[in-house]
Structure 1
Amino acid sequence: MKILVYGAGVLGSYLAHALIRGGNEVSVLARGARADELERDGIVLRHYFQRKTTVDSVHVIRTLEKEDVYDLIFVVMKYTDFRAVLPILASNPSRNLVLIGNNAEAREMQAELLESSEMEKRIAFGFQLSGGRREPRHTLIIRGRGEMLLGGLDGPISFQAELGQAFAQTRYKLTYIDNMEAWLKNHLVPIVMLNSLSQIHNGQMKRVARDGKLIRDAVIAMGEGFHVLETLGVPLIPAAQASVIRKHKRLVQGFLKLYHLLPVSRMIDGSFAEVEALAEKLQEWSKQAKVRTPHWEELNRRLQLIKAGE
């Protein structure tokens, strides 16, 4: 299949690697030095747990033109970058789009795409279960088995057959979610709280592990976040996630302390701008729900102090 991966960061690079290995005709949209690097060296991945390095040649484009047509376009970006590419996607004739990553406004983005496009668009949202960071000579990938969670906002994905064909010859797993919009909103709660910990301690993970009060407050703040979603009528998906965090706070605190002591915690890039934007969205939902969130507000206050000190 003819596929475009729009975005050549850590997750976009890994997705392109998986699709290339599956026998697809893959292009990657990148710009600047990253585009030059991909054209020169290909996609160079260091697989952390598998202890191997892979290199894949890939076709690189720097812009998506109106005449470029793909069977599938995977847009792999930070939440703060999605808005800028929506007009470009709307003007392109490719029908099948998957927006992959943290997203607090999936419904609004879908509506904007559908309203501004002159041709039919079939849209899904996804989240890739992997992480990593860019290093000077390669991209470090932290993963188990490659997997993406996928779903539509109005029932099953209408181009599921095309997705199945694209991944048929890969070792990559697709897991379909019935209510992807709710899943994305639920996912923001732990993502924002956990990224807040590292931001507050400037990426010093051992300092996070030693700050028991901060970890305790973050776990309580997650419970507050889930209460906000419930109040707004958002289903808790997966239900087990909220249940464990609420009922087993000390166990979760212990896990987070251990995680921040492990080397793998220092090998996953985070974006302060993305975390800040997602945090603002959670604050907005909290006001809509008229729910008190004192622990989350304290974490947010400390994040704002970090920003002010930049």
Structure 2
Amino acid sequence: MNILVYGAGVLGSQLAQVLVRGGNDVTILARGKRAEELERDGIVIRHVFQFKTTIDPVRVTRSLEEDDAYDLIFVVMKYNDFPSVLPILAANRSSNVVIVGNNADARSMQTFLEENSRVEKKVAFGFHVSGGRRQEDRMLSIGGAGGQMVIGGLDGEIAFKSILDQAFEKTKYKLNYLDDIDAWLKSHIVPILMLNGVSFNEKREMIKLDGNRKQLQHMIGAMDEGFGVLEAMGISIIPEIQAKLIRKHQRMLYFLLKIYSVLPLYKLVAGSFGEIEALNDAFNGWKKVTHMSTPHWDVLKKEYSNLK
């Protein structure tokens, strides 16, 4: 199957490797030094928990032209980068697109593609469940041997589900199809925002959590407030266990966060300042719609965060 992975960061590289090893004809879109690395060395990934490094050759392109044709396009990038890519996708003649990553605005992205594309676009949304970071000429990955993506359509079953199943048929990768992917994505934003929003210094550099009792208690309260905002908008919390953990097992969550604050794991799951800032803007919009107060989140932003 002819597949394009649009985005050559950590998660895009991980996904491309899975698809290559599944016997697909994979092209990865990269630019600059990253494109040169991929052409010279292939996809080099250091699997942290498996204590191994894998190298997989891959075809590289630096652009998506109007007449390039792919059976599937996976767009794997940060939330704040999606808007710049949508016009390029709309101009291309490929039909089946999966937008992968944190997403607070899936509906408007789908609407843009439906209204501005030269051919009918069939759109799904997903999240590649993994993490990692770049280290010199390779990517560090904390994903398992197979990997997983939660994925779904906004209007019922994905129209090209059979094509997706075929692309991953010979891999150990799991596609976890959800009926309400938009609710899952919005629910996921709450803990991501509360964990990452307090982790940048004035230079927008990632730092560890302070891990003090006051900060962690405010983080737990802020997550509860965030889920409350979603519920006020009529959005289900998916998976439901997230809200139950925060509301019924705060002591357990406190100790989990305490452990998280002292381990270097945060470096492998952290977002970028630009993405967290964009997600915060979306969350502020939800707050305005619901008129919900968020005193814990307000304290976190005032005392620990550089977000506005």
**TM-score normalized by the length of structure 2:** 0.95
Show the counterpart of 1:217.
Answer: 218
Instruction: Give the whole-Å Cα distance in 2 for the aligned partners of 1:118 and 1:231.
Output: 38
Show the counterpart of 2:86.
Answer: 86
C-alpha distance after superposition, 1:121-171 (max 9, x if no partner): 110000011000001131000113400000000001111100000000011
2:210 counterpart SS class = helix
Q: Which residues in structure 2 correspond to 1:60-79 (within 5 Å)?
A: 60-79=60-79
Instruction: Give the whole-Å Cα distance in 1 for the aligned partners of 2:248 and 2:269.
Output: 28
Find out whether 1:43 has 2:43 as its counterpart. Answer: yes
Instruction: Give the whole-Å Cα distance in 2 for the aligned partners of 1:303 and 1:295.
Output: 12
The one-letter amino acid paired with 1:208 is: D
Show the counterpart of 1:248.
Answer: 249
1:263 counterpart SS class = coil
Is the contact made by 2:196 and 2:270 (CA closer than 8 Å) also made in structure 1? no
Is the contact made by 1:197 and 1:214 (CA closer than 8 Å) also made in structure 2? no
Find out whether 1:21 has 2:21 as its counterpart. Answer: yes
How much has 1:239 moved relative to structure 2?
Answer: 1.1
Find out whether 1:208 has 2:210 as its counterpart. Answer: yes
Is the contact made by 2:29 and 2:62 (CA closer than 8 Å) also made in structure 1? yes
How much has 1:262 moved relative to structure 2?
Answer: 2.1
Instruction: Give the whole-Å Cα distance in 2 for the aligned partners of 1:39 and 1:303.
Output: 42
Show the counterpart of 1:54.
Answer: 54
Show the counterpart of 1:190.
Answer: 191
Is the contact made by 1:130 and 1:142 (CA closer than 8 Å) also made in structure 2? yes
Instruction: Give the whole-Å Cα distance in 1 for the aligned partners of 2:302 and 2:59.
Output: 45
1:197 counterpart SS class = coil
C-alpha distance after superposition, 1:51-102 (max 9, x if no partner): 1000011110001011110000000010000000000000111010000000
Show the counterpart of 1:229.
Answer: 230
The structure richer in helix per residue is 1
1:291 counterpart SS class = coil
Is the contact made by 1:208 and 1:257 (CA closer than 8 Å) also made in structure 2? no
Which 10-residue stretch deviates more, 253-262 or 20-29?
253-262
Is the contact made by 1:200 and 1:302 (CA closer than 8 Å) also made in structure 2? no
Q: Which residues in structure 2 correspond to 1:1-310 (within 5 Å)?
A: 1-144=1-144, 145-199=146-200, 203-205=206-208, 208-209=210-211, 211-302=212-303, 306=306
Instruction: Give the whole-Å Cα distance in 2 for the aligned partners of 1:273 and 1:299.
Output: 18
How much has 1:302 moved relative to structure 2?
Answer: 4.1
Which 10-residue stretch deviates more, 128-137 or 234-243?
234-243
Is the contact made by 1:147 and 1:174 (CA closer than 8 Å) also made in structure 2? yes
Instruction: Give the whole-Å Cα distance in 1 for the aligned partners of 2:6 and 2:175.
Output: 19
Instruction: Give the whole-Å Cα distance in 1 for the aligned partners of 2:268 and 2:116.
Output: 39
Which 10-residue stretch deviates more, 66-75 or 233-242?
233-242
The one-letter amino acid paired with 1:236 is: I
Pair 1:118–1:204, CA change in 2 (3 A) = closer
